[in-house]
Chains A and B, each alone.
Chain A
């Protein structure tokens, strides 16, 4: 089978799974609804509970889950290849800690701000992720010979720790209700109840995905080694820069939408590689599609398992992801 054909077949298969999950997920939930009624346009909107549950409570949630899941999984693939480190996640380079600090500050200062219908917490967390990305990038770029992946990793890890300390400090100074709200935000949540925040995150994700799509071959070469990639004519510095910035931008947008939901960016890429091999032309689209399906399913579990109570979706992904990742670790060694 030619590579083009394989890409098409595998991507179609994963797309089919993702599509099936995204169509099925909004039809189930803590409350039984009638789909016939939900789609009956003759019933006035304000009287149609089924339609409101479907279109206000569930569909935005499923779409947000799909977007966040796809983004985190794809960003994980890109960063693992670029850093040549299987343990890299979208949060390794400080993006999520910056986003969390931004959200935390918005909560504790009761920031009231709204741009095009996007509220203060997503705005502040996106700003925080951009600042963190900027700091890590500046540090890594200050090296004379292009971006140093070692400096990137160290700067990212250190910034994560530093921002976490700032988060704890701000949290310590805040009152109980604020601290609780901020902690809850960090557990991740997809009940967005409106399409506005999804539309706001979408352009950043689309731009990044275009960049991802254009660098799949480069990622193949990079993941083998920088020297051999350079020998094959790859502009290493430029490739690393594009990979880092696009992955960070996409992650920042995803975190501002759903909070720092862990484990998606690490278990999905590894699982997909187990299934389809390591060619990024296949791994990247397959991971994005599988990430979308996986997070939507996790959120489905989060909203139904303990209903009427909900489990924070980040807790669900961690409960599934932790043991799975350990299994993967044992299996590889």
Chain B
């Protein structure tokens, strides 16, 4: 009897220790697949880049990822290829429930990500650091980002905050189907850090389609328009700006403060947002 109890006790201790080790002494993943482009950028920023073995078909940054195999993207992840690449961590987006179910079935761990506000970029970087064995580097990168954000905040502190409309899409050559950042999400946060007052801050959504009537009624002092092109020549710039002249009573139009912000990385919620915030701040407070 005593021997049986002793054996049971030994088994119990081993079991607890095993679980303990499984939970807390996880070895860092060596083969990461990222299906979320902005998280890929974060992984490289915290030093986990060399562990990344495949990315989504939309990944282009940093340049190192362009030579990696691609495994589909948000709506069409190639589950077979993902499993065949034998990853030990897959970065998924929150809405990829089917993929997550399949990964669970084959016991491949995943890191679930969803876009949220600006703060969430640093939160995600720290969580990724802890998960991939780069906690210190992630902490440094997150702190550096926070310092840049605080720096820009300090730079624009005390200056008047112009009412700003942040446009990220519309039908070319016209003022139809204008999409703008509304009162939630990282674009809104970027605008507020850059020293602008979001003219749509009362709309509790990440983005909203805005009618010309709403723009005329809200009278933004500045219209910032994001444009994915790297550079626009004068003729193109004129063509892009021209339709706005129909709304001549809007202060931004009247005072020539419709400003095009160029660059493909401006709207990616990753390490490059600092660039975006800096460009916004310079446009709002020249």
Contact = CB atoms under 8 A, between A and B. Distances in A.
Contacts of A29: 213
Contacts of A121: 171-172
B213 A189 contact: no
A31 interface: yes
A21 interface: no
Nearest to A192: B176
Given A30-B217, A175-B58, A308-B214, A52 B175 contact: no
A31 B172 contact: no
Contact of B246 (A119, A175, A177, A193): A193
B214 A47 contact: no
Contacts of A30: 211, 213-214, 217
A53 B216 contact: yes
A141 interface: no
Given A110-B172, A121-B171, A45 B248 contact: yes
A194 B175 contact: yes
B216 A310 contact: no
Contacts of B74: 176
Contacts of B172: 110, 112, 119-121
B177 A56 contact: no
A31 B213 CA distance: 8
Interface string B241-278: 00100111100001000000000000000000000000
A47 B219 CA distance: 11
B212 A56 contact: yes
A333 B209 CA distance: 42
Contacts of B213: 29-31, 53, 57-58, 191, 303
Interface size, A (range): 35 or more
Nearest to A307: B214
Nearest to B74: A176
Nearest to B228: A177
A108 to B, nearest CB: 12
Interface string B87-110: 000000000000000000000000
Interface string A40-59: 00000111110111001110
Interface size, B (range): 20 to 34
Nearest to B208: A309
Contacts of B208: 308-309
Contacts of B247: 52, 56
Contacts of B176: 189, 191-193
Contacts of B171: 119, 121, 181
A114 interface: yes
A163 interface: no
Interface in B188-202: 200, 202
A309 B209 contact: yes
B242 to A, nearest CB: 10
B203 interface: yes
Given A48-B249, A52-B247, A308-B208, A120 B217 contact: no
B115 to A, nearest CB: 12
A156 to B, nearest CB: 28
A120 B219 CA distance: 28
A307 B212 CA distance: 13
Nearest to A30: B213
Nearest to A197: B174
Contacts of A46: 248-249, 254
A111 to B, nearest CB: 8
With a 10 A CB-CB cut-off, give which of B58, B172, B205 has the most chain A CB atoms.
B172
Contacts of A197: 174
Contacts of B214: 30-31, 307-308
Contacts of A45: 248-249
With a 10 A CB-CB cut-off, give which of B76, B219, B246 has the most chain A CB atoms.
B246
A52 B216 contact: yes
Contacts of A192: 174, 176
A309 B248 contact: no
A294 interface: no
Nearest to B170: A181
B133 interface: no
Interface in B23-58: 58
A184 interface: yes
Interface in B7-31: none
B177 A189 contact: yes
A142 B120 CA distance: 63
Contacts of B248: 45-46, 52
A49 B219 contact: yes
A119 B174 contact: yes
B169 interface: yes
A194 B174 contact: yes
Contacts of A51: 249
A92 to B, nearest CB: 27
Contacts of A56: 212, 216, 246-247
A30 B210 CA distance: 12
A221 to B, nearest CB: 42
Contacts of B212: 56-57, 191, 193
A158 B200 CA distance: 44
A112 B173 contact: yes
Interface string B230-242: 0000000000000
With a 10 A CB-CB cut-off, give which of B210, B217, B243 has the most chain A CB atoms.
B217
Contact of A194 (B205, B209, B246): B246
14 contacts: A30-B214, A48-B249, A49-B216, A51-B249, A56-B246, A57-B216, A120-B172, A177-B169, A184-B177, A191-B213, A193-B176, A193-B243, A303-B213, A308-B200
